[in-house]
Amino acid sequence: MQFKVGAKQTTKMLEQSKAIEVYVARDADPRMREKIVHLCERLSVPVKWIDTMQELGETCGIDVGAAMAALIPDEE
């Protein structure tokens, strides 16, 4: 599995039905969070909440914080 990090990439993966699960940082911009969570609910993709953007960045293996990320299969 791999991560696509950021709001644009996460949205793209959801729209292409590639996202298996979406990770969202609790301290991300509320408008961005609401938009992505609503899209996940509509598409029946599970959302996993992470406490901070820094923690989510570390989870994704990057050195900076991330507001959200989509988990996708490796073959993409």
Residue 75 has pLDDT above 90, yes or no: no
pTM over 0.75: yes
Residue-wise pLDDT for 14-36, tens only, equals 999 999 999 999 999 999 999 99
Residue 76 has pLDDT above 70, yes or no: no
Could you tell me the strand order of the sheet in which 2-5 lies? 2-5, 68-72, 21-25, 47-50
For residues 51 and 24, what is the distance between their CA atoms, to the nearest angstrom? 9
What's the mean pLDDT in 60-66?
Answer: 94
- Mark residue 50 as left, alpha or beta (left: phi above 0; alpha: psi -120 to 50; beta: remaining): beta
